[in-house]
């Protein structure tokens, strides 16, 4: 009921607005004053609800010329690895293959598979192993990379990877239900990718 309050109450008071494309986040604040006013009329004792746009930082407008750097935000559920870092290139392990992202890349959403994410900054290359996630490439040369789990390559213990691979391979061969097979297959895939990262 409340979801439609702003639409129903605001019909006569404001002109219809054109909805922006998903990659064209406005550079100004997303606070909808018409919604807040309509909310206060309907429920004056309650604060208006927060929407996702309340928590988003506004993005800069899409540049007219090709920028020299790519802005990267790399986040995990529990921490932020990179925030607004300007780099030359990012290589992400997409499910369709390794994908290089340079400044001016076409807007894209890519699902990540277990593999190496590398951040290139001049001659320095920082590598992380990611288990899964998504990469959102925006038209304004901003890349938002969200991973379920990530660890710098130099912090991976090769003996634990070998042990984990052996355990999950054993679980896969002895699995009887579809759930057990799926969980074991995920473990094998992640540990195989970890092993390839270390050895190769």
Q: Distance between CA atoms of 79 and 145, rounded to whole angstroms?
A: 12
Q: According to the model, what pLDDT value does residue 133 have? A: 94
Mean pLDDT of 58-65: 68
For 137-149, what is each residue's pLDDT tens digit? 998 889 999 999 9
Which pLDDT band, with edges at 50, 70 and 90, does 61 fall under? low
Is pLDDT at 23 greater than 50 in this prediction? no
Which pLDDT band, with edges at 50, 70 and 90, does 59 fall under? low
Is pLDDT at 111 greater than 70 in this prediction? yes
Q: According to the model, what pLDDT value does residue 75 have? A: 93
Q: What Å distances lie between residue 58 and 29, 30, 48, 165, 188, CA to CA?
A: 6, 8, 20, 43, 40
Is pLDDT at 28 greater than 60 in this prediction? no
Q: According to the model, what pLDDT value does residue 16 have? A: 45
Which pLDDT band, with edges at 50, 70 and 90, does 113 fall under? very high
Q: According to the model, what pLDDT value does residue 121 have? A: 93
The structure tokens listed for 8 are: 């129903």
Is pLDDT at 13 greater than 50 in this prediction? no
Q: According to the model, what pLDDT value does residue 100 have? A: 95
């Amino acid at each position: 009921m409340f979801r439609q309050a702003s639409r129903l109450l605001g019909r006569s008071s404001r002109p219809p607005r054109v909805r922006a494309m998903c990659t064209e986040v406005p550079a100004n604040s997303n606070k909808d004053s018409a919604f807040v006013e309509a909310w206060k009329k309907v429920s004056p004792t309650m604060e208006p609800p927060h929407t996702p746009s309340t928590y988003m930082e506004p993005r800069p407008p899409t540049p007219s010329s090709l920028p020299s750097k790519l802005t990267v935000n790399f986040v995990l559920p529990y921490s932020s690895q990179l925030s607004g870092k300007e780099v030359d290139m990012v290589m992400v392990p997409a499910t369709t293959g390794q994908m290089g992202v340079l400044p001016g890349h076409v807007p894209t959403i890519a699902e990540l598979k277990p593999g190496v994410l590398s951040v290139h900054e001049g001659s320095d290359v920082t590598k992380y192993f990611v288990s899964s996630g998504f990469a959102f490439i925006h038209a304004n040369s901003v890349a938002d990379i969200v991973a379920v789990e990530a660890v710098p390559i130099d912090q991976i213990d090769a003996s634990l990877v070998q042990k984990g691979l052996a355990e999950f391979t054993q679980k896969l061969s002895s699995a009887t239900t579809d759930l057990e097979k799926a969980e074991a297959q995920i473990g094998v895939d992640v540990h195989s990718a970890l092993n390839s990262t270390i050895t190769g």
